[in-house]
Amino acid sequence: MLSLDFLDDVRRMNKRQLYYQVLNFGMIVSSALMIWKGLMVITGSESPIVVVLSGSMEPAFHRGDLLFLTNRVEDPIRVGEIVVFRIEGREIPIVHRVLKIHEKQNGHIKFLTKGDNNAVDDRGLYKQGQHWLEKKDVVGRARGFYQENRSVENRNYLFLILEL
Amino acid sequence: MAAAAAQGGRSGGSGGSSGAGGGSSCGTGVGRSGLLDKWKIDDKPVKIDKWDGSAVKNSLDDSAKKVLLEKYKYVENFGLIDGRLTICTISCFFAIVALIWDYMHPFPESKPVLALCVISYFVMMGILTIYTSYKEKSIFLVAHRKDPTGMDPDDIWQLSSSLKRFDDKYTLKLTFISGRTKQQREAEFTKSIAKFFDHSGTLVMDAYEPEISRLHDSLATERKIK
């Protein structure tokens, strides 16, 4: 028979205390979840914080940088801004810069993107037959980034620049 | 009764291995109730890590609770604890609603519901903080003594304790609220936890129980004099 000494604390608890322990754990998870959802509501973006996955935006962003996004309706997308978008049918969002925009009177836009470090624009990445991106593909516009400095002396400097 | 329990506890350490061997053979015969009995270790002496402050406080609190409930046969009132559990449950409920709603209706449509849930969650957190700070304080036991003659209302005994971080002084406060006169009297003691635990971390009820009884009797006798 195994000696379950490490479970002694649990065995000594009555039902209420056990339930409270479960609730405690649930509250920690809920707090993290609510902070994330709260950020989603405030920024208007479905993924307010993203990680840069490729080196296509060097030297501005490197792999592993964090980006803070907003997706407010009243902020129009302009050429030169950095947007995070999803291509239809693909899960992973892409971080690139806006190159060209066609805008109609009613505010409907079509735009083309390109990574700073890429040689060509993103038409090759878009869906078959798609030449422009639309507002609905956008996850958000980059408003600030968080970067760890890769220093030779092995010290980490943290840079946080917020453009409001 | 307490002395006998301590005696049993000290020999229980050596007899525990043989007891466990015997338990496994008869456990299958008895069935579910046997398993539950083996799970509960109310009679085993409390052994904790003596350097872990929160474990020490919890074991002292639980033992004080046991003394009041078993020796004096008071009835525990779960009102305070239930209040806290309800607030926590409601908060988790808001979180779960937000999660499921967002899954069913992807983001932009779920914005108002999400906003509502997030705000409600943090409001509940605020309520919980106020509740634990002001209503519950550090009370961990509310016990009622039913009046034997049947006259309402009951007398209430409250236990609260404190043990500062990295400190060895444990303060236990017993509050008595008379049912008839609504008067409140309290008594407390502050002692080093070294007086109650032996070097291996086992709580020695012989040393702890008289303290509790002394606190209790000092409040009970005052009442008789009045």
Task: State the catalytic residues of A.
Answer: 56, 96, 122
**What gap in Å lies between CA B115 and CA B108, rounded to an integer?**
11
Q: What is the pLDDT of residue A2?
A: 54
Is A16 found in the same domain as A66? no
Is A135 found in the same domain as A65? yes
Residue B80 in any domain: the answer is yes
Is B123 an interface residue toward A (CB < 8 Å)?
Answer: no
Is A71 found in the same domain as A33? no
Residue A156 in any domain: the answer is no
Structural domain boundaries enclosing A8:
1-43
Q: What is the pLDDT of residue A157?
A: 47
Q: Is the separation of the CB atoms in A114 and A97 below 8 Å? A: yes
Count up the domains in chain A and report the number.
Answer: 2
Is A22 an interface residue toward B (CB < 8 Å)?
Answer: no
Residue A135 in any domain: the answer is yes
Count up the domains in chain B and report the number.
Answer: 1
pLDDT (tens, 9 = 90+) of chain A, 164 residues, equals: 455 666 766 666 778 888 988 999 999 999 999 999 999 999 988 889 999 988 898 888 888 888 999 988 888 889 999 999 999 888 889 999 999 999 998 888 999 999 999 999 889 889 888 899 998 889 999 988 888 765 544 444 444 555 44
Q: Do A11 and B40 touch (CB under 8 A)?
A: yes
- Write out the two tokens for B141: 């036991």
Residue A161 in any domain: the answer is no
Q: Which of A12, A30, A40 sits opposite B95 (nearest CB)?
A: A30
Q: What is the pLDDT of residue B87?
A: 93
Q: Which of B40, B85, B95 sits opposite A20 (nearest CB)?
A: B85
Rounded to 5 degrees, φ, ψ at A112 are -120, 140
Q: Is a pLDDT exceeding 90 seen at residue B92?
A: yes
Residue A94 in any domain: the answer is yes
Burial class of residue A160 (count of CB atoms within 10 Å of its CB; 0-12, 13-18, 19+): exposed
pLDDT in tens, B36-54: 666 666 666 777 787 888 8
Residue A110 in any domain: the answer is yes
Query: What is the distance in angstroms between the Cα of B123 and the nearest Cα belonging to chain A?
Result: 12
Residue B87 in any domain: the answer is yes
Query: B183 — alpha (psi -120 to 50), left (phi > 0) or beta?
Result: beta
Structural domain boundaries enclosing B94:
53-134+155-222
Q: What sections of B146-196 are H helices per DSSP?
A: none
How many Cα atoms within 13 Å fall on the side-chain side of residue B223? 19
Q: Do B122 and A34 touch (CB under 8 A)?
A: yes
Q: What is the pLDDT of residue B12?
A: 38
Burial class of residue A146 (count of CB atoms within 10 Å of its CB; 0-12, 13-18, 19+): middle
Q: Which of A3, A26, A41 sits opposite B92 (nearest CB)?
A: A26
Q: Is a pLDDT exceeding 60 seen at residue B104?
A: yes
Distances (CA, A) of B133 to B98, B137, B166, B207: 28, 5, 22, 31
- Percentages helix, strand, coil for chain A (3-state, rounded to 5) are 25, 30, 45
Distance of CA B41 to the CA centre of its chain: 16
Is A100 found in the same domain as A31? no
